[in-house]
Amino acid sequence: MKLVTSKDCQLRVEHTPRPGAPALLLLNPLGVSLDIWDEQLAALSERYELIRFDARGHGKSTIGEPEASIEMLANDALAVLEACGIARAHLCGISLGGMIAMHLAAHTPDWVLKVVLSNTTPYMPPRENWQQRIQTARTQGLEPLIEGTLGRWFTPEFHQAQPEKVAKVRALLRETSPAGYAACCAAIRDMDQRESIQNITAKTLVIGGSKDAGTTPAMAESIARSVPEAKLVMLDAAHLGNIERVDEFNAALIEFLEGELAPAPTVD
């Protein structure tokens, strides 16, 4: 673990150097720390130089400004890559992490290899919903929001079958700073990337959840239509397919990142 300074905040970063391997930056959902990727580490660490970090105001990262923007969060990600000595990386982001990945791919393409956008959307109205969440977090903390969040993040079947995995995510939500959560809610409230994602040139995989009530299957399909030549994979899951369908998520991610890497054979 190390701390990386990004303008007005310090970010906790976990970087696993792997010389010769492509870099993969993992970007977290709102309200949880880098530990949300634990189920991916075994499958990915042998193949990639992994970087994951706590978004500002989450985990052990400091908050900085009271309200963030997607651009600010994307600049944090670039500061992390730079501090880790990485010039280009694959991106995989879930929910808020996917929103950050969209911004990076659209606005800083030279940093980006391939992009995986999981359970996310470029635009998430109405503003009033986010303003209400901000108000709740600032006045009552996150506790009133947690069970509703978990209800959207996992299917009822998963809640029943894997209560210990749900409990781990509940603990991550409880550890998040209410002020940090509110700051990142403001970024989603003010975001509209519907036009800019049409400029993404990196190869893109969209992963959706067929039972995701937050970022719906229709939202996943819309991204896949908007990003040139994007591929779409739907998992039988709610919002956190990386936990609910670990093997399928990992397989889709690796197959996409590894695909088309071999040079075309030359013909004499």
pLDDT score, position 261: 40
- Classified as helix, coil or strand, 118 is strand
Asked if the model's pLDDT at residue 237 lies above 60, the reply is yes
Question: Is 267 a domain residue?
Answer: no
Question: Is 252 a domain residue?
Answer: yes
Reported confidence tier of residue 1, pLDDT bands at 50, 70, 90 = confident
Question: Is 202 a domain residue?
Answer: yes
Question: Is 178 a domain residue?
Answer: yes
We report the CATH number of the domain holding residue 113 as 3.40.50.1820
Which residues are within 8 A (CB) of 49 and not within 5 positions of it... i.e. 6 or more apart? 15, 16, 17, 18, 19, 21, 22, 23, 24, 86
Q: What is the mean pLDDT of residues 246-259?
A: 96
Q: What is the pLDDT of residues 130-145, one digit of tens each?
A: 999 999 999 999 999 9
Q: What's the number of domains the chain is made of? A: 1
Please spell the DSSP secondary structure of 10-46, one letter per residue.
Answer: EEEEEEE--TTSPEEEEEPPTT--GGGGHHHHHHHTT
pLDDT score, position 264: 36
Q: What is the pLDDT of residues 48-98, one digit of tens each?
A: 999 999 999 999 999 999 999 999 999 999 999 999 999 999 999 999 999
Question: Is 155 a domain residue?
Answer: yes
Q: What is the mean pLDDT of residues 35-47?
A: 96
pLDDT score, position 260: 59
Which residues are within 8 A (CB) of 107 and not within 5 positions of it... i.e. 6 or more apart? 71, 74, 196
266 compared with 194, residue with greater pLDDT: 194
Question: Is 263 a domain residue?
Answer: no
Structure tokens at 106: 């659209």
pLDDT score, position 265: 39
31: containing domain: 2-258
Question: Is 268 a domain residue?
Answer: no
Closest to 200 measured CA to CA, from 72, 101, 80: 101
Question: Is 264 a domain residue?
Answer: no
Which residues are within 8 A (CB) of 218 and not within 5 positions of it... i.e. 6 or more apart? none
pTM for the model stands at 0.95
Which residues are within 8 A (CB) of 10 and not within 5 positions of it... i.e. 6 or more apart? 3, 4, 61, 62
